[in-house]
Structure 1
Amino acid sequence: MTKQVSVIGLGGMGAGMARALLAAGYDVTVFNRTRKRADALVAAGATAAPSAAEAGERADAVVLSLADEPAVDEVLFGELVWRLRPGTVLLDTTTVSPSYARGTATRLAASGVRRLETCVLGNPDMAAAGKLRLFVSGEQAAYDDAHDVLAALGQEVRHLGAAGRASALKLSLNLLLGIQTAGLAEATAFAEAAGLDRELMLEILLGSGWRSPVLGFRAEYMRRRVYRPAAFRTALMRKDLELALEQAEAHGLPLPLCRQAAERYATAVAAGRADDDAAVVADVPHEAGEDHS
């Protein structure tokens, strides 16, 4: 059983996964560029590393939880890969495009580092409780070797096969989440314009057949009109929808609803709400046809 695990990137999901690994009895080393984010984890028993490279060289497995593809390039290929031992399993939970995922796996092959593209479904509280759902792409042997770590992070773990598949799944699901959240924002705006109270409308929604865990989670942000701490930042939602649009374009696939939703989140980012939860689109005016691409 793998015992030494490093977690690099301590946003809500990364910090939550580090807590789950600590609770499962792993020796956990953590690193985040904003050092203060590691303090609570150190108090819980983790070891803070002074750099991503030093965190990686101590580990049998590394969990990478970063914001986007440029961050992976900077951290993984700029600092980390040179210090990872051959055979190290890299659980990359960053949401990236399928083409980027395949390219990253190819770039790492010569180093002997085994990348598992890891789609995580859930929120920071679920991450801390080890209750995520994990869908993994990459070589079977690496998946088998890392299964104990994956099982500590998730209540469900599935292997999807070759590189690119987990990323395609994650973007598909985030595309749906983005459209649903924007749709809930529009329904709320329509109800308010017609003179209905927002709390009443959302209360009735959540007691109806339209209720779902995902919509309920976003509806609570909208009901309270408090969007921090964010479970899914607006900037990341915009990024994921734009990744989906780029990949769809390569396949000649139009995604008109996705494009409209991406514009809604772009409006929110331009309004200074990038770090708020994506549900903030309920409180950001949007001009039809506006394009921030």
Structure 2
Amino acid sequence: MSVTKKNVAVLGLGAMGTALADALLAAGHRVTVWNRTAARADGPVERGARRANTAAEAVAAAEVVIVCILDYADVGALLADRAGGEVLQGRAVVNLTNGSPEEARSMAERVSALGGAYLDGGIMAVPEMIGRPEALVLYSGERAAFEAYRGVLDGFARSVYLGADAGLAPLNDLALLSGMYGMFGGFAHAAALVRSAGGPVAEFTTGLLVPWLQAMCGGLPAMAAEIDSGDYGATGSSLGMQVAHDSIGALSRAQGVSDELFAPVFALMERRVAGGHGDEGFAGVVEELMRAR
């Protein structure tokens, strides 16, 4: 299916911004680029982009403005001060800068007040993945803008729209990263245990750990359903049984491996059991996390 070519501005040409500009060029869009350090525009310009001397010039040349810079404070200054607020009238701003849900909501109000449509985005990819099928970008904000420019956005990655609340994209972005770092933390602890005994970590990972984790991931949808329903009846190993012995912590200490990655998880499980929920499955631990609200 052919995509209607658009006039697109890319503000910010770090590694990710450059990858976004290149993907737009590859899709045949008319791309104008701007970066505070002008030399960073050289590569995209050589590949067919138009160089803007100011942010305002880049915005004026575009229907949709992609922003990918360091933080939201800089985005606000860039759009309202450098670009000049009046330039945003009738344009869509797609902010792919990392931030918090509250920052996204505040930016949505600011762009709307300046006459623009706002989408916030969470890029679930590294620059090398942009334009490839495995890349994913989450969006939230004005649905009309998402639908109007989805053909542009799909050139980066698979586009997923989460809702009108601009804060949904950064919230889900950080939730996904939380799951990723939890997995990485578990891997690091497992690798340290294997290494402490002189074992080959690569062989353990490919032969044992990855297949095991893939099997365990199959149980996540059922756990998610328990969390949504609030019914945590154990279908396998109960929490009471799981915390009867701190076997992982004991082994870690015996092997001279720190248990600081695993200990907080075990403490949450113990607290849930102490509260009278030892017959539940692991998903009930979510309730202990929610108590911090």
| TM-score of the pair, normalised by structure 2 | 0.65
Higher relative contact order (CA 8 A, sep 6+): 1
State which of 11, 34, 37 in structure 1 corresponds to 2:14: 11
Corresponding residue number in structure 2 for 1:47: 50
Aligned residues: 217
For 2:60 and 2:204, locate their aligned partners in 1 and report how far apart those are by CA, in whole Å: 53
> Are 2:5 and 2:30, in contact at CA under 8 Å, matched by a contact in 1?
no
Q: Does 1:209 align with 2:212?
A: yes
Q: Does 1:177 align with 2:185?
A: no
Within 5 Å, give how 1:1-293 maps onto structure 2.
1=4, 3-82=6-85, 84-129=87-132, 132-204=135-207, 208-210=211-213
Which 5+ residue runs of structure 2 have no aligned equivalent? 216-256, 262-293
> Are 1:16 and 1:125, in contact at CA under 8 Å, matched by a contact in 2?
yes
| Superposed CA offset, 1:43-75 (max 9, x none) | 211122223232222111111112222332332
| Superposed CA offset, 1:171-204 (max 9, x none) | 1112222222233223223322221234334443
Per-residue deviation at 1:2? 5.6
Per-residue deviation at 1:6? 0.8
For 1:133 and 1:166, locate their aligned partners in 2 and report how far apart those are by CA, in whole Å: 12
| Superposed CA offset, 1:255-292 (max 9, x none) | xxxxxxxxxxxxxxxxxxxxxxxxxxxxxx99969xxx
* Residue identity opposite 1:118 in structure 2: G
Corresponding residue number in structure 1 for 2:289: none
Per-residue deviation at 1:205? 5.1
Tell me: CA distance 1:179–1:83, structure 2 relative to 1, closer, same or farther (3 Å). Answer: farther
Task: State the percentage of identical aligned residues.
Answer: 33
For 2:26 and 2:33, locate their aligned partners in 1 and report how far apart those are by CA, in whole Å: 15
* Residue identity opposite 1:155 in structure 2: R
For 1:211 and 1:79, locate their aligned partners in 2 and report how far apart those are by CA, in whole Å: 48
Tell me: CA distance 1:156–1:205, structure 2 relative to 1, closer, same or farther (3 Å). Answer: farther
For 2:210 and 2:259, locate their aligned partners in 1 and report how far apart those are by CA, in whole Å: 31
Could you say what the CA RMSD is over the residues aligned between the two structures, in angstroms? 2.8
Per-residue deviation at 1:39? 2.2
Could you list the structure 1 runs, at least 4 aligned residues long, displaced by more than 4 angstroms after superposition: 285-289
> Are 1:97 and 1:167, in contact at CA under 8 Å, matched by a contact in 2?
yes
> Are 2:54 and 2:83, in contact at CA under 8 Å, matched by a contact in 1?
no
SS in 2 for 1:137: strand
For 1:205 and 1:71, locate their aligned partners in 2 and report how far apart those are by CA, in whole Å: 46
For 1:22 and 1:54, locate their aligned partners in 2 and report how far apart those are by CA, in whole Å: 19
Per-residue deviation at 1:143? 1.9
